[in-house]
């Protein structure tokens, strides 16, 4: 079972806009040394839509190599093409990934029946355990709880990253899925409430900056220490909000650049934040004494 905090890793680029391998390896070490449960490269936060297949495979391979078995690596290999998702998943499996994060197919808006076929096909042919990624805001389609329950009957579909934003639905998932099925929040702001109510942790954006603090917070929730988890949640709430003042991963990469962890580089159509948002983020970072 996947439990704890799994960092949705950014993909650092150098001044030329290429994948910065040395920095990526440093980020992996920073995460592991600060107690993270696992790593999730090449997801939304890793700017996967603008990575070529070659770069995608390269990033996954670097993370797996640098992690060197110290923590699980869940590779983002989803696509709105089932054939492509299987191909990318097989590449990640060959590189040594522990599981795959499979986003709901986006833009083509499959029906619930079609979603079941898509995820089962990837699970049966991709060669890795599948964590379903439910994010209606980006895919345009919500995975209904009944649909997820049907998927959970497949032994190779082992969990869900729940980013629907619908807490009632998330609780239905907790109540209805098998005990062995991992339920990870896809939103930092809902991670503590979901974990307290029976979830198993979070795939986190903020943990790119604060892996130890996020781990301590979720571990408290997992241990049933509600007061401590609540205290930490409120402690970091403003910082969590700041990570989403513009489209993810722009704010978190800007924050990491402020801390000199990465070069602040994005790929179009993502661009640096507006001046007002940059100043707002800087004020928050200062308030937390992070810069």
Ranges of each domain in the chain: 4-226
Closest residue by Cα to residue 157 from 94, 203, 100, 74: 100
Q: Which tokens belong to 273?
A: 């934040």
SS3 of residue 226 by DSSP = helix
Which pLDDT does position 218 carry in this prediction?
98
Q: Which residues of the chain have pLDDT under 50?
A: none
Q: Would residue 133 show up in a list of annotated catalytic residues for this protein? A: yes
Neighbours of 268 (CB within 10 A): 7
Q: Is 241 a catalytic residue?
A: no
In this prediction, residue 137 carries a pLDDT of 85
The tokens of 96 are what? 């040594």
Residue 81 is given by DSSP the state S
Among residues 206, 204, 188, 208, which one has the least CA distance to residue 23?
208
- In the set 6, 58, 83, 161, the catalytic residue is 161
Which member of 133, 236, 253, 265 is catalytic?
Answer: 133
Q: State the pLDDT at residue 139.
A: 86
Write out pLDDT tens, residues 126-149: 999 999 999 988 888 999 999 999
* Fold category of 4-226 in CATH: TIM Barrel (3.20.20)
Cα-Cα-Cα-Cα dihedral of 266, 268, 273, 274, to 10°? 150
CA 83 to chain centre: 22
């Amino acid at each position: 079972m996947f439990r704890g905090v799994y960092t949705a890793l950014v993909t650092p680029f150098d001044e030329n806009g290429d994948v910065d391998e040395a920095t990526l390896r440093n980020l992996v070490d920073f995460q592991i040394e600060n107690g993270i449960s696992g790593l999730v490269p090449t997801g939304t936060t890793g700017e996967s839509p603008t990575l070529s297949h070659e770069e995608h495979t390269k990033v996954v391979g670097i993370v797996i190599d640098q992690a060197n078995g110290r923590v699980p690596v869940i590779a983002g290999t989803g696509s709105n093409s089932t054939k492509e998702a299987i191909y990318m998943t097989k590449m990640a499996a060959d590189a040594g990934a522990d599981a795959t994060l499979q986003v709901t197919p986006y833009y083509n808006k499959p029906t619930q029946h079609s979603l079941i076929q898509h995820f089962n096909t990837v699970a049966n042919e991709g060669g890795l355990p599948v964590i379903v990624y439910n994010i209606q805001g980006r895919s345009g389609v919500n995975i209904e709880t009944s649909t997820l329950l049907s998927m959970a009957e497949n032994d190779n579909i082992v969990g869900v990253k729940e980013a629907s934003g619908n807490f009632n639905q998330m609780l239905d998932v907790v109540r209805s899925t098998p005990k062995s099925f991992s339920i990870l929040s896809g939103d930092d702001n809902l991670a503590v409430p979901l974990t307290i109510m029976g979830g198993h942790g979070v795939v986190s954006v903020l943990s790119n900056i604060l892996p130890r603090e996020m781990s301590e917070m979720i571990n408290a929730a997992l241990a049933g220490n509600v007061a401590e988890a609540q205290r930490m949640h409120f402690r970091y709430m403003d910082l969590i909000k700041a990570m989403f003042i513009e489209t993810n991963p722009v704010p978190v990469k800007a924050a990491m650049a402020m801390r000199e962890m990465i070069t602040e580089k994005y790929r179009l159509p993502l661009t640096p934040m507006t001046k007002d948002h940059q100043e707002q983020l800087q004020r928050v970072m200062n308030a937390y004494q992070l810069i």
